[in-house]
Structure 1
Amino acid sequence: MRPITPATAEHVQAIAIAVERLREARTLLRRAGARRAATATRKAINSAEGAARHAAHRVRRTSG
């Protein structure tokens, strides 16, 4: 098995902030009537949430 690249709590926190800001952007895009952009932002949120799960797993695997 390949060695896993370590992740830190800072990585997880940075991703959480990004997800939060993407959600804010989605809300603003909806208000502006930019439906296609809001849909693209929803897909980006799903991807970022997957990255958060992956980073959390890397933290668990590489700590202690």
Structure 2
Amino acid sequence: MRRITPAGPEHGQAIAIAVERLREARTLLRQAGARQAASAAGKAISSAEGAARHVQHRIRRTTQ
């Protein structure tokens, strides 16, 4: 099995902050009428949420 790069809680917190800010940006883009940019922000949110799941797995695996 491949070795997993260690991750700590600070990595999870950083991603959570990024997701929160992306959501704020998407809301502002919608208010500004920038539909395509808001859609792109939504895709970025999905990607960041996937990264959050990934880092949570890394945290679980490296703290056992």
Q: Bin the TM-score by the shorter chain.
A: over 0.9
Output one character per residue of 1:10-42: Cα deviation in whole Å (capped at 9) or x when no partner. 000000000000000000000000000000000
Partner of 1:43: 43
Distance 1:6 1:44 in 2: 24
Partner of 2:17: 17
Distance 1:22 1:12 in 2: 15
Unaligned 5+ segments in structure 1 are none
Equivalent residues, number: 64
Distance 2:15 2:2 in 1: 24
RMSD: 0.5
Identity of aligned residues (%): 77
TM-score by length of 2: 0.98
TM-score by length of 1: 0.98
Unaligned 5+ segments in structure 2 are none
